Chain A
Amino acid sequence: MYEGAVQNLIDELGRLPGVGPKSAQRIAFHLLSAETADVKRLVNALVEVKERVRFCAICGNVAEETECRICRDPRRDAAVICVVEESKDVVAIERTREFRGRYHVLGGAISPIEGVGPDDLRIKELMTRLSDGQITELILATDPNLEGEATATYLARLVKPMGLKVTRLASGLPVGGDLEYADEVTLGRAFEGRRSLEF
């Protein structure tokens, strides 16, 4: 045990995900030996993130104003919505530079075993967005695991009566991987979604 302030810092750092007691101690002593200006910058960044960042009123993504950067951008295609589980997924898709539509962040996936049902996600907000008639395609980009698939199935069934085009991200072999190591389910999906090579 250290004295007052140092132990306090170690305890607080130890509450962060993935930071154990030894790591917390290492970070604490690093901060102790760092320049005061550097530490102040870190403190400001922490305070600012809590004060300025909120969730976009339209899509639920992290934003610094009432609406996020993507929802405010008039160049984005307003007719296509890509549904993702978390804000992290928006960043992952943005990195591909393939998608020019808008997003909807659900805030998780349906997982009855963890007690998360459809009412715990931002599904009602999505239905309100879809009902304005502007949207023509819904892309379901939930994780390709069991909960993600179940959420996609649920949404597809819910949206079906609206007559929208509903698509699901393709599943298949990772680029740079070996066929022999692919599991049966993934390989099966890759076969199901194969495309013809026409030139």
Chain B
Amino acid sequence: MTVTRGWERGRAVAHPPPGIGDNGGVSLYRDEGVVLRTRKLGEADRIVTLLTRRTGLVRAVGKGVRRTKSRFGARLEPFTHVDLQLYTGRTLDVITQADTLHAYGTPIVADYARYTAGTAMLETAEKIVIVEKDPALRQFLLLIGGLRTLGGNEHDPRLVLDAYLLRSLAVAGYAPALDECARCGSHGIQRSFAVHAGGAVCSVCRPAGSASPAPDTLRLMVALLRGDWAGADASEERHRTECSGLVAAYLQWHLENGIRSLRLVERS
């Protein structure tokens, strides 16, 4: 009688003989994503934060990225939309391959105003999708759309940024009330805007400390949230400035951490 040892028995049942190309327990996965931020790690590596299509926010190590002979080269720079292969590491995943799908960085970095607006978009994306590896497809698509518009240079970079911030907040569940009162729900463009009340407020519900923006500023915010670019492009400079201020205040109120890049966004 032959005695089968426990581990042999278990192995025969749980793991059939591997086929050709079967890499068994190595957890490799493929995804596409936008590089949000990079940080130096050790001698020549980088920690790359990405917003991916299927996995959500991922922090991964790009090994040897900073060397001039790196296989990744400029592919793992912020604003780049890349096709990636990664394997799951103990704390951080490791990038094994990267291919550029779109290099949004090239047109964005050529203009300083676009660059500062773009970095604010990337930082917001990172802060609004807080949980790692929790799929956030709508945020991903919104960011891709935002970067494409910004790089296309069709609209004022500030408008693109504010449109992105408003929509990103809306996707995250923090859409401001703009053409109704945030408290009583009465329709129409209101006179006041209270960040802590959740958007525009009517003269009856108006809490102390509310801002009183021009009606055209609120109309501009509605246009940006809905994607009415013809209306947004026709807006006046002072309304754009006021709109940026309100959007920034509203964003900072809802995110736990402030967005550092917003301070440096160029307001020409």
Query: B227 → chain A, closest Cβ, in Å?
Result: 26
Residues from chain A with a CB closer than 8 A to the CB of B100 are: 183-185
B73, B111, B263: the one within 8 Å of A182 (CB): B73
Stretch of B119-127, B129-137, B147-155, B166-174 at the chain-chain interface: B119-127
Q: Which of B42, B79, B116 gathers the greatest number of chain A CB atoms within 10 Å?
A: B116
Q: Please, how many residues of chain B have a CB less than 8 angstroms from a CB on the other chain?
A: 33
Look across to chain A and name the residue whose beta carbon is closest to the beta carbon of B265.
A112
B78, B79, B109, B119: the one within 8 Å of A153 (CB): B109
Query: What are 11 A-B pairs with beta-carbon distances under 8 A?
Result: A18-B43, A115-B263, A146-B77, A146-B109, A149-B109, A150-B115, A154-B112, A157-B112, A183-B74, A185-B100, A186-B74
List of 6 A-B pairs having minimum Cβ-Cβ separation, nearest first: A183-B73, A112-B261, A185-B74, A112-B264, A112-B119, A115-B260
B68, B105, B111, B122: the one within 8 Å of A113 (CB): B122
Query: A89 → chain B, closest Cβ, in Å?
Result: 14
Residues from chain A with a CB closer than 8 A to the CB of B122 are: 113
Whether the pair A153, B110 counts as a contact (CB closer than 8 A) is: yes
**In the complex, what distance in Å separates the CA atom of A159 from the CA atom of B264?**
20
**In the complex, what distance in Å separates the CA atom of A2 from the CA atom of B211?**
61
User: Given A18-B42, A113-B122, A113-B261, is A185 in contact with B73 using a C-beta cutoff of 8 Å?
Assistant: yes
**In the complex, what distance in Å separates the CA atom of A117 from the CA atom of B112?**
12
Look across to chain A and name the residue whose beta carbon is closest to the beta carbon of B43.
A18
Query: A18 → chain B, closest Cβ, in Å?
Result: 7
Please tell me if B240 contacts chain A, counting CB pairs below 8 Å.
no
Residues from chain A with a CB closer than 8 A to the CB of B112 are: 150, 153-154, 157
Residues from chain A with a CB closer than 8 A to the CB of B109 are: 146, 149-150, 153
Please tell me if B59 contacts chain A, counting CB pairs below 8 Å.
no
Whether the pair A185, B260 counts as a contact (CB closer than 8 A) is: no
**A residues apposed to B, CB below 8 Å:** 18, 110-115, 117, 145-146, 149-150, 153-154, 157, 174, 176-177, 181-186, 188
Please tell me if B88 contacts chain A, counting CB pairs below 8 Å.
no
A117, A149, A157, A177: the one within 8 Å of B264 (CB): A117
**In the complex, what distance in Å separates the CA atom of A113 from the CA atom of B112?**
14
**In the complex, what distance in Å separates the CA atom of A182 from the CA atom of B69?**
9
Look across to chain B and name the residue whose beta carbon is closest to the beta carbon of A120.
B264
Residues from chain A with a CB closer than 8 A to the CB of B73 are: 182-183, 185-186
Query: A73 → chain B, closest Cβ, in Å?
Result: 29
**In the complex, what distance in Å separates the CA atom of A184 from the CA atom of B105?**
12
Query: A95 → chain B, closest Cβ, in Å?
Result: 14
**In the complex, what distance in Å separates the CA atom of A141 from the CA atom of B132?**
36
Please tell me if B103 contacts chain A, counting CB pairs below 8 Å.
yes
Whether the pair A113, B119 counts as a contact (CB closer than 8 A) is: yes
Please tell me if B72 contacts chain A, counting CB pairs below 8 Å.
yes
CB-contacts of B253-268 with A (<8 A): 260-261, 263-265
Whether the pair A177, B69 counts as a contact (CB closer than 8 A) is: yes
Whether the pair A146, B103 counts as a contact (CB closer than 8 A) is: no
**In the complex, what distance in Å separates the CA atom of A18 from the CA atom of B40?**
12
Whether the pair B106, A153 counts as a contact (CB closer than 8 A) is: no
Residues from chain B with a CB closer than 8 A to the CB of A188 are: 106
Known: A145-B74, A188-B106. 20 other contacts (CB 8 A): A18-B42, A112-B119, A112-B265, A113-B78, A113-B119, A113-B123, A114-B260, A115-B263, A115-B264, A146-B77, A150-B115, A153-B109, A154-B112, A182-B73, A183-B100, A184-B74, A185-B73, A185-B74, A185-B80, A186-B73
Look across to chain A and name the residue whose beta carbon is closest to the beta carbon of B37.
A113
**In the complex, what distance in Å separates the CA atom of A115 from the CA atom of B257?**
13
Residues from chain A with a CB closer than 8 A to the CB of B71 are: 181
Whether the pair B111, A112 counts as a contact (CB closer than 8 A) is: no
Q: Which of A146, A150, A184 gathers the greatest number of chain B CB atoms within 10 Å?
A: A146
**In the complex, what distance in Å separates the CA atom of A150 from the CA atom of B112?**
6
Whether the pair A146, B37 counts as a contact (CB closer than 8 A) is: no
**In the complex, what distance in Å separates the CA atom of A184 from the CA atom of B74?**
8
Whether the pair A117, B263 counts as a contact (CB closer than 8 A) is: yes
B77, B263, B264: the one within 8 Å of A145 (CB): B77
Whether the pair B106, A185 counts as a contact (CB closer than 8 A) is: yes
**In the complex, what distance in Å separates the CA atom of A140 from the CA atom of B26?**
45
Residues from chain A with a CB closer than 8 A to the CB of B106 are: 185, 188
CB-contacts of B54-73 with A (<8 A): 68-69, 71-73
Residues from chain B with a CB closer than 8 A to the CB of A112 are: 116, 119-120, 123, 260-261, 263-265
